[in-house]
Chain A
Amino acid sequence: MDQILGNIGLLFEFPIVNLKIVLDGVMVGALFALAAYGLALVWGVMNVKNLAQGDFVIAGGYVSWWLVQHGFPALLGVPIAFVVMWGIGWVIYKLVISRVIERDLFTSLLATFGLAIMMAQIMNLMFGSDTQSVDLGYPTLHFFDGFIDLPIAKLIGVLMASVLAAGVIIFMKSSRMGQAIRATAQDARAARVLGIDTEKVYAFTFSLNSAICGAAGAIIVMVWVIQPFYGISYSIRAFVIVTAAGLGNLPGVIAAGLGIGALEQYGSHIFGIGYQQAVAVMLLLAVLLYRLIQQRRNRQVLK
């Protein structure tokens, strides 16, 4: 308790720390938001709740790490991880997801949960259980007597994440495929009647999700560390963010991602870093309770 009060005291004693916490949180949150956006996409279009979301992220990280080990420049890892994970996502769609798409919620949850365990174990066998990271070797910028530090690698990571997010938004808004995806999400049967090949749309959507996660993982390996069994922490955050923001609400997903990143940093500053993930899960509970109360007031049913 003393430590908690002391930690809160520090926030007032050194106000600049607040800025640092928010900045750190926003940078983590940007990557959470990417994974969450992919999840919302798959959830919205084909009603599959992908529990292996985080493992796609980690797999993308390993693609990039492997490339760096074999002499490729680290920044090239992001586009290559995007492409490779697109392929892996397509294969997984054909093998597993296409078979559970029409089934009930429980089947798809079980299938993707199994997928998550498989992927983590395969990565463990391929790359070993040690943590890995890629060091870009860029310097760190320091402001305010060194209290605020901005590693250039992190800035590049956030920049790439925003470019990717912007690219996906434009694609969804203006391309034919983007329109088809949105049409399928609204009403798959109507879309089929109007001549949209929904099977193709599903495969495309799932591959796109996998590719987005892969690119996010390739950014994460440059800025933090990855390990075969870290996927679950990204899956949890993606679920929290999508639940908080709601499906089909892209600005909401991004805002929620950044917000959760910042709140987690505050939580870990005040309660200790061991409670960082607890803060995310508490937030999920709070959002669910709020939604429940809200919906009761509107006399709607939970869908």
Chain B
Amino acid sequence: MKKYSLLSILMAMASLLFTQAAVAACGEIVVGSAISLTGKYATNGIHAKNGYEYAIQKIRDAGGVMVDGKCYNFKVIYYDDESKGDRGATLAERLISQDKVQYMLGPYSSGMTKAIAPVSEKYQIPMVEAEGASRSLFNKGYRYLFAVLSTSEQYLASAVTLAAEMAESEGKSPSSVKVAIAVENDPFSLDIRAGVSEDAAKYGMKVIIDEQLPRDLSDMSSILTKVKLLKPDLLIVSGHSKGASTAVRQMEEQNIKVPMIALTHCEAADVTGNFGKAADDILCSTQWAETLSYKDPLFGSAAEYEQDFKKAFPEYKDKAVPYQIAQASAAVYVFKDAFERAGSLDKEKVRDAIAATDLMTFYGPIKFSDAGNNIAKPMVLRQIQNGEYNVVAPSKFASHKLNWPRN
């Protein structure tokens, strides 16, 4: 027993030496990130950091980033922003002026990104972020901010498309679809409402219920009564995890039958665990799922990414890998791709290379608009089928068929 452990220590040391030798052969690209390691965003902040670190390790194992014939590895300087916006802005300032970083990876949450982006913009530091979805980030004319994830107004807009497809499959016009919207009165949910109503207007659909949920929501029976009376074909609810759990519970109680119901935050509210069968056939939006058929040469397919990530970070062994991790890895991948295409470490050239990104990844296609948001990747809709989350849209990458109408 003792012998083995001694042997394994020796081997570990040898491998450490070896990797260090390999690292020494390559140069270093220093990237800065202020991220929430404590405070209210800590859980997701640590997810994002793990996603960054996993991608960096993976790139190192694959031979590093090749810039103009020379190899480099990423090294990230992390500071803890304590989930506070002003702290994040101060730390970004410190990363840029004291640590002299030339490139940045984003923080966690739209709010933190909103606090940091003006700083990186001021110093013209390219920042690729993976965790800020609010569309208000992309109407400020930022030139150095890029986001790999879909913006929040897209979260449930694909449900509108899906409802239109279903209406057509029945030989009805999409404009006959009636939509009911109930979203919380906060920036994220209002983005969702805007996305849904824009898309509904495009199809000529009628929005028959359009209500805003209070922040301390615990009862939405009056909306559901109206749903019962007015019979919409599509019901959209977004109110973070309390909205999801209240909606699922009361729809079951009031026996609400709508052909299609789409929610956000199903996973956070654990609607399958808390309400069992009542959650069946509900659509839930997500940025990414491991069952999608996306793939790339570095990480392999989405499923392979999940398996390898769990090997590298055993603490995730017993749960699904959250999409926050996958998109953080994708952000690092965007940097690698941009450096290689730019063939230079000059930040302006790198910025232009990022702007010209057209990349297929395990996380989905990535292509930035002029505003910096990713316009190539659609939001994924998963349907709860017998307690499992199965991808049903976009249909091209889906693993399962949509159960419709819901009853």
**CB within 8 Å of B: which residues of A?**
3, 7, 10, 13-14, 17, 20-21, 24, 28, 129-131, 133, 135, 140, 142, 146-147, 149, 151, 154, 220, 224-227, 229-230, 232-233, 265, 268-269, 272-274, 276-277
Contacts and interface: CB of A to CB of B under 8 A. Distances in A.
Contacts of B276: 135
A3 to B, nearest CB: 7
Given A131-B269, A149-B254, A265-B222, A273 B245 contact: no
B255 A273 contact: no
B344 interface: no
22 contacts: A3-B210, A7-B226, A10-B226, A13-B229, A129-B40, A130-B241, A130-B268, A131-B242, A135-B275, A135-B276, A146-B255, A147-B228, A149-B253, A149-B254, A154-B253, A227-B216, A227-B242, A229-B216, A233-B216, A265-B222, A273-B211, A273-B217
Given A140-B253, A225-B242, 9 more contacts: A21-B225, A133-B245, A140-B254, A146-B228, A225-B249, A233-B218, A274-B185, A274-B214, A277-B214
B246 A225 contact: yes
B220 interface: yes
Nearest to A275: B214
Contacts of A131: 241-242, 245-246, 269
Given A3-B210, A17-B229, A135-B275, A273 B253 contact: no
B221 A140 contact: no
A154 B274 CA distance: 17
Contact of A28 (B212, B219, B242, B246): B219
A232 B225 contact: no
B223 interface: yes
A187 B160 CA distance: 66
A1 B147 CA distance: 39
A232 B216 contact: yes
Nearest to B214: A274
Interface residues of B, number: 34
B292 interface: no
Contacts of B245: 131, 133, 225
A272 B212 contact: yes
A64 B366 CA distance: 47
Contact of B225 (A13, A140, A269, A276): A269
B402 interface: no
A28 B212 CA distance: 20
A124 B119 CA distance: 32
A273 B243 CA distance: 13
A274 B212 contact: yes
A137 to B, nearest CB: 8
Nearest to B213: A273
Given A146-B228, A225-B245, A230-B216, A269 B253 contact: no
Which 3 pairs from chain A and chain B are nearest by CB?
A131-B242, A274-B212, A224-B218
A224 B225 contact: no
A135 B274 CA distance: 7
Contact of A149 (B40, B223, B255, B269): B255
Given A10-B229, A130-B269, A140 B216 contact: no
Interface string B203-243: 00000001111101111111101101100000000000110
A114 B213 CA distance: 28
A147 B210 CA distance: 21
B240 to A, nearest CB: 8
Contacts of A227: 216, 242
Contact of B229 (A14, A142, A273, A276): A14
B250 to A, nearest CB: 9
B68 interface: no
B230 to A, nearest CB: 8
Contacts of B252: 140
B249 A135 contact: yes
Given A17-B229, A140-B255, A146-B255, A225 B218 contact: yes
A141 to B, nearest CB: 10
A69 B68 CA distance: 58
Given A28-B219, A131-B269, A17 B225 contact: yes
A227 to B, nearest CB: 6
A14 B229 CA distance: 8
Contacts of A265: 221-222
A6 to B, nearest CB: 9
Contacts of B222: 21, 24, 265, 268-269, 273, 276
A226 B212 CA distance: 20
Interface string B167-193: 000000000000000100100000000
A132 to B, nearest CB: 8
Nearest to B219: A224
Contacts of A13: 229
A20 B242 CA distance: 23
Contacts of B229: 10, 13-14, 17
A281 B361 CA distance: 52
Contacts of B214: 273-274, 276-277
Nearest to A147: B228
Contacts of B212: 272-274
Interface in B348-394: none
Contact of A142 (B218, B249, B255): B255
B260 to A, nearest CB: 20
Contacts of A276: 214, 219, 222
A20 B246 CA distance: 18
